[in-house]
């Protein structure tokens, strides 16, 4: 997820950068188009009179350029040298003007450049060739610094990174909450389920919430209590059955030993056999009851319904 956010930040930065740079370029092109149109029309008008008038008009246009605080206007001769600039300083021959070279090679006569100058300043410049045939003023160029644009992009990037950082922190908090509120209780349920499988029915899970997970904990605890009760009932039943079985078995064993030690005593033998038969019948009934109980537990017990005299049963 962090990688996705980083890629998203890069995409957003590129989108904002492309938008801002395109806006600056469109502004420069629009300003350049206005100036080129005015100068071309003035050159082609019949009132020009002489080249001197045109030169004065060009110089007046450059010197009175109203947007010199945001961009610089330059006039370039046919040799590719700046002859007039709106900065008020003497034109230098050390200008980096790739946009002029692009304009010369371009069919439409317009070239654009965005990059760093020799002094390290990042600029954007647009040059348009004039269709006047005047070699002294062959092209017009507007150039502006991109430092403010890059500064604004930097602020936006910081804002985007801050939002991404907040999202990452929120994800971490939610992840920790998820681990604490869901993963840990589920892990505890898993551990306690293994304990129950090994016969430890006294384990319980603390109910911390009232949501679905809390309901699961309550059901789990209820299951553990029921299993514990079932285990207790089973143990009590086995203890009771063992006691009930021990009584007839003790009688049978005792009379068997008595008969064995008195083989000639018919009275003792008769009495002993009677006791052994009765106790054996008792054991048989108990075994049958256990089988019925097993059938009930397994759902294989069939109940036969019949009419009976309840009054007669109560009076017996």
Between 237 and 313, name the one with better pLDDT. 237
Of the candidates 86, 125, 127, the one whose C-alpha atom is nearest the C-alpha of residue 108 is 127
pLDDT, mean of residues 149-154: 90
Across the range 7-13, mean pLDDT stands at 86
pLDDT band at residue 299 under the 50/70/90 scheme:
low
pLDDT of residue 47 exceeding 60, the answer is: no
The pLDDT confidence band at residue 130, using thresholds 50, 70 and 90, is confident
Q: Which fold has domain 212-303?
A: Helix Hairpins (1.10.287)
pLDDT score, position 64: 85
Q: Return the number of other C-beta atoms located less than 10 Å from residue 44's C-beta.
A: 10
**Tally of CB atoms within 10 A around 213:** 17
Instruction: Kindly tell me if the per-residue pLDDT of 126 is higher than 90.
Output: yes
The angle that helices 212-261 and 266-298 make with each other, rounded to 10 degrees, is 170
- Burial track 245-276 (b if 16+ CB lie within 10 A, e otherwise): eeebeebbeebeeebeeeeeeeeebeebeebb
Top CATH class of 2-156 equals alpha beta
| pLDDT value at residue 28 | 92
d(CA 145, CA 124): 6
Residue with tokens 């064993």: 253
* Per-domain residue ranges of the chain: 2-156, 212-303
Residue 94 has a pLDDT of 67
Most confident option among 144-158, 250-264, 293-307: 144-158
Average model confidence (pLDDT) across the chain? 82
pLDDT above 50: residue 46: no
Q: For 120-134, what is the mean pLDDT?
A: 86
pTM: 0.56
* CA neighbor of 109 nearest in space, from 63, 140, 154: 140
DSSP 3-state of 85:
strand
If you ran DSSP here, which 8-state letter would residue 46 be given? T
Q: What pLDDT does 49 receive?
A: 45
Whole-number pLDDT of residue 303: 67
pLDDT of 42 over the 70 cut: yes
Q: What is the pLDDT of residue 142?
A: 92
Q: Is the pLDDT of residue 50 over 60?
A: no
Q: What percent of the chain has pLDDT over 90?
A: 11
- Lowest-confidence pick of 222-226, 252-256, 291-295: 291-295
How far lies 311's CA from each of 5, 255, 304, 306, 307, in Å?
85, 41, 20, 15, 12
């Amino acid at each position: 997820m962090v990688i996705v956010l980083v890629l998203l930040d890069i995409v957003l930065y590129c989108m904002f950068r492309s938008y801002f740079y395109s806006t600056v370029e469109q502004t420069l092109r629009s300003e350049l188009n206005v100036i080129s149109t005015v100068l071309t029309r003035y050159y082609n008008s019949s009132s020009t009179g002489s080249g001197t008038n045109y030169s004065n008009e060009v110089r007046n246009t450059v010197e009175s350029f109203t947007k010199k605080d945001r961009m610089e206007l330059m006039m370039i001769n046919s040799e590719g040298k700046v002859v007039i600039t709106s900065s008020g300083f003497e034109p230098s021959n050390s200008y980096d003007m790739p946009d002029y070279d692009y304009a010369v090679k371009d069919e439409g006569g317009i070239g654009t450049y965005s990059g760093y100058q020799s002094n390290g300043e990042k600029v954007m410049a647009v040059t348009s060739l004039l269709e006047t045939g005047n070699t002294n003023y062959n092209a017009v160029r507007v150039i502006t610094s991109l430092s403010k644009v890059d500064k604004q992009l930097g602020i936006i990037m910081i804002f985007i990174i801050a939002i991404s950082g907040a999202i990452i922190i929120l994800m971490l908090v939610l992840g920790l909450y998820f681990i604490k509120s869901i993963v840990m209780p589920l892990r505890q349920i898993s551990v306690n389920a293994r304990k129950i499988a090994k016969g430890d029915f006294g384990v319980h899970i603390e109910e911390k919430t009232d949501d679905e997970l809390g309901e699961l904990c309550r059901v789990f605890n209820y299951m553990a209590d029921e299993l514990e009760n079932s285990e207790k009932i089973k143990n009590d039943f086995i203890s009771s059955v063992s006691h009930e079985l021990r009584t007839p078995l003790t009688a049978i064993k005792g009379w068997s030993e008595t008969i064995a030690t008195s083989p000639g005593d018919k009275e003792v033998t008769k009495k002993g056999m009677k006791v052994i038969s009765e106790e054996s019948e008792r054991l048989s009934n108990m075994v049958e009851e256990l089988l019925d109980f097993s059938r009930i537990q397994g759902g294989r017990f069939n109940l036969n319904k019949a009419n009976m005299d309840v009054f007669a049963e109560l009076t017996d």
